[in-house]
Amino acid sequence: MKLALVGATGLVGQKMIEVLQEFNIPITQFIPVASARSAGTNVVYNNKPYTVITPEQALALNPDVALFSAGGSVSLEWAPKFATVGCTVIDNSSTWRMDTTKKLIVPEVNGNTLTSADKIIANPNCSTIQLVMVLKPLHDKYKIKRVVISTYQSVTGTGMQAVAQLMDERAGIAPNKVYPHTIDLNVLPHIDVFMPNDYTKEEMKMVNETQKILADTSIKLTATAVRIPVMGGHSESVNIEFENDFDVKEIKHLLSNCHGVTVQDDVANNLYPMPLTSHNKNDVFVGRIRRDESQANTLNCWIVADNLRKGAATNAVQIVELLLSKGLLV
């Protein structure tokens, strides 16, 4: 299997290399791809250096699968070209997520919908992925009516330049600013651009993508997305109203038996999910599971995941793994 990684030199691209190695994906030819300015540099895969090439050069090699993590404009231009030659594209940008002709996939949630006809597959937004991993089993059991989400998102979600801004500020060095304000010792209720309805694009992604992945537009969602000065992962405070009542112990048991979800909920011993402990893990962690005492049939919980892992690289590689298991890449 020939695999191209478009955006191989970026933060998510480098994480994809790590995860591909860990999952032992059977690649016979690894093709690292980046922009013309990065072409000719080397990246390391399985302890071997590979020369980075341009998308045009990679296309000529007829890869079987291509992981895209190079931004929306690159995906818009090149994903259809790769798909046209029979390559299966898994795209990490927002370009194809809400395209009605493209699947938006979290393998544990809706991976069973994939077919050989799906040549461009969208990887959801990082904060959406960890959310639906918890919502799916609860929706199946109790039927969700409404979800209120507040996020606490890592600077790594913005990329290397944002990490550099935080570290420079922390070291007292004048930074090259990616954010409109200082991020160190601060909280920014502003992720992506503001939309006409005064929500940010990130907030609306969570609303629209969740409905698409769960295949249920009747679920009402509202979100406030916040950037905080951490690097281990994204955190979410989630309030879920159900049509049917529930037992908290039953919910904990249900989530404990979901593949890819780890329940960390032992407040007597101060055990709950945190970015520091979710860092470099592939699971989604959930805790602080408790009844909302102000409203019937409503639950509060706290969800944390490494946004570069399950929120991006791991989910994409798991899609490759699923396609292989279903015989859709041969």
Pair 288, 108: CB distance under 8 Å:
no
- Residue 72 is predicted with a pLDDT of 94
- Residue 330 is predicted with a pLDDT of 63
Rounded to whole angstroms, the Cα distance separating 245 from 235 reads 26
How does the average pLDDT of the chain come out, rounded? Answer: 97
234 in active site: yes
126 in active site: yes
With CA atoms as reference, report the closest residue to 150 among 191, 184, 182: 191
How many CA atoms, within 13 angstroms, populate the side-chain half-sphere of residue 60?
4
Q: Which residues of the chain fall below pLDDT 70? A: 330
Residue with tokens 């502003």: 190
Residue with tokens 């879920």: 240
With CA atoms as reference, report the closest residue to 255 among 307, 302, 308, 223: 302
Backbone angles phi, psi at 67, to 5 degrees: -95, 125
CA distances 266 to 5, 288, 297, 303, 329, Å, are: 40, 8, 22, 14, 43
* Cβ neighbours for 37, distance < 8 A, ≥ 6 positions apart: none
Task: Out of 126, 139, 258, 301, pick the active-site residue.
Answer: 126
Radius of gyration of the chain (CA): 20
| Largest distance between two CA atoms of the chain | 60
Pair 304, 235: CB distance under 8 Å:
yes
CA distances 301 to 137, 147, 265, 307, Å, are: 14, 11, 10, 18
Angle of helix 126-142 relative to helix 201-213, nearest 10 degrees?
Answer: 40
Six token digits for residue 50: 């590979």
pLDDT, tens only, 218-261: 999 999 999 999 999 999 999 999 999 999 999 999 999 999 99
- Our measurement of the distance from residue 48's CA atom to the centroid of its chain's CA atoms, rounded to an integer in Å, reads 27
With CA atoms as reference, report the closest residue to 129 among 323, 325, 319: 319
- Three-state DSSP state, 33: strand
Rounded to whole angstroms, the Cα distance separating 18 from 12 reads 10
Domains of the chain with bracketed CATH:
2-124+312-325 (3.40.50.720), 127-307 (3.30.360.10)
Task: Out of 87, 139, 181, 234, pick the active-site residue.
Answer: 234
- Three-state DSSP state, 307: coil
Q: What pTM did the predictor assign?
A: 0.96
